[in-house]
Amino acid sequence: MDTIMEATKVSFSYDEAPEAPLVLDDISLTVRQGEFLAVLGHNGSGKSTLAKHFNAILLPQKGRVVVGGMDTADEEKLYDIRQTVGMVFQNPDNQIVATIVEEDVAFALENMGVPPAEIRRRVDDALRSVGMYEYREHAPHQLSGGQKQRIAIAGIIAMRPRCIVLDEPTAMLDPRGRAEVMKTLRELNREHGITIALITHYMDEAAQCDRVVVVDRGKLLMDGLPREVFSRVEELKAVGLDVPQVTELMHSLRRAGLPVREDIITEEECAEELCRLLGKGGTA
Amino acid sequence: MTAIRTEHLTHTYSPNTPFQKVAVEDVSIAIEEGEYVGVIGHTGSGKSTLIQHLNGLLAPTSGKVFIGEEDLWADKAKLRSFRFAVGLVFQYPEYQLFGETVYSDIAFGPTNMGLTPDEVDSRVRQAARFVGLTEEKLQKSPFELSGGQKRRVAIAGVLAMDPRVLILDEPTAGLDPKGRDKILGEIREYHQEKKNTILLVSHSMEDIAKNATMALVMNQARLFCYDRVEEVFGRGEELSRMGLAVPQVSRVFLSLAKRGIPIDPRVYTVEAARDEIIRCVKEGRQGK
Ligand SMILES: Nc1ncnc2c1ncn2[C@@H]1O[C@H](COP(=O)(O)OP(=O)(O)OP(=O)(O)O)[C@@H](O)[C@H]1O
Ligand SMILES: Nc1ncnc2c1ncn2[C@@H]1O[C@H](COP(=O)(O)OP(=O)(O)OP(=O)(O)O)[C@@H](O)[C@H]1O
Ligand SMILES: [Mg+2]
Ligand SMILES: [Mg+2]
pLDDT tens, B104-117? 999 999 999 899 99
Residues B210 and B262 placed together within one structural domain of the fold: no
Per-residue HEC secondary structure of B218-248 comes to: EECCEEEEEEEHHHHHCCHHHHHHCCCCCCH
Whether B22 shows a pLDDT value over 90: the answer reads yes
Residues B34 and B135 placed together within one structural domain of the fold: yes
The pTM for the full model equals 0.88
Label residue B94 by pLDDT band (50, 70, 90). low
- Residues A132 and A126: their CA atoms lie apart, in Å, by 9
Domains and CATH numbers, chain A: 3-243 (3.40.50.300), 244-284 (no CATH)
Whether B96 shows a pLDDT value over 80: the answer reads no
Whether B267 shows a pLDDT value over 90: the answer reads no
Neighbours of ion ligand 3 (CB under 5 A): A 48, 90; B 146-147
| Nearest by Cα to A87 from A131, A45, A53, A123 | A53
pLDDT tens, A183-215? 889 999 998 899 999 999 999 999 999 999 999
pLDDT tens, B144-161? 888 888 888 999 999 999
Cβ–Cβ under 8 Å, residues B249 and B268: yes
- Residues A57 and B18: their CA atoms lie apart, in Å, by 38
Residues B237 and B255 placed together within one structural domain of the fold: no
Nearest to A43 among B148, B255, B280 (CB): B148
pLDDT, position A158: 93
Label residue A224 by pLDDT band (50, 70, 90). very high
Residue with the larger pLDDT of the pair B65 and A21: B65
Q: Is B48 on the interface with A (CB under 8 A)?
A: yes
Average of pLDDT values for B219-248?
87
Average of pLDDT values for B53-76?
94
Residues B137 and B48 placed together within one structural domain of the fold: yes
Q: Do A281 and B19 touch (CB under 8 A)?
A: no
Residues B38 and B163 placed together within one structural domain of the fold: yes
Cβ–Cβ under 8 Å, residues B182 and B171: no
pLDDT tens, A136-189? 999 988 888 788 888 999 999 999 899 999 999 888 788 888 888 898 899 999
Q: What is the DSSP letter of A22?
A: P
Residues B278 and B153 placed together within one structural domain of the fold: no
Residues B72 and B83 placed together within one structural domain of the fold: yes
Residues B93 and B144 placed together within one structural domain of the fold: yes
pLDDT, position A93: 72
Residues B104 and B61 placed together within one structural domain of the fold: yes
pLDDT, position B287: 62
Whether B20 shows a pLDDT value over 70: the answer reads yes
Average of pLDDT values for A241-264?
93
Ligand 1 atom with the smallest distance to the CA of B149 is: 26
Residues B129 and B242 placed together within one structural domain of the fold: yes
Residue with the larger pLDDT of the pair A175 and B163: B163
Whether B18 shows a pLDDT value over 50: the answer reads yes
For residue A249, CA distances in Å to A5, B8, B43 come to 36, 44, 29
Average of pLDDT values for B204-227?
93
Pairing of strands A211-216, A36-41: parallel
* Edge-to-edge strand list for the sheet holding A195-199: A85-88, A163-167, A195-199, A36-41, A211-216, A219-224
> Which ipTM score applies to this complex?
0.83
Pairing of strands B214-219, B222-228: antiparallel
- Looking up residue B120, the CATH number of its domain turns out to be 3.40.50.300
With H, G, I as helix, E, B as strand and everything else as coil, classify residue A257. Answer: coil
Largest CA distance in chain B: 73
Helix A175-192 to helix A145-159 angle, to the nearest 10 degrees? 0
- CB of residue B234 inside a 6 A radius of ligand 2: no
Task: To the nearest 10°, report the CA torsion of A37, A40, A45, A49.
Answer: 30
Structural domain containing residue B32: 2-246
Number of independent structural domains in chain B: 2
Q: CB B7: neighbour CB atoms within 10 A? A: 16
Residues B200 and B253 placed together within one structural domain of the fold: no
Whether B95 shows a pLDDT value over 50: the answer reads yes
Residues B116 and B208 placed together within one structural domain of the fold: yes
Nearest to A249 among B14, B43, B249 (CB): B249
Which residues in chain A are closer than 8 Å to B245, comparing Cβ atoms? 175-176, 179
- Residues A83 and A161: their CA atoms lie apart, in Å, by 6
Cβ–Cβ under 8 Å, residues B123 and B110: yes
Share of chain A above pLDDT 70, in %: 98
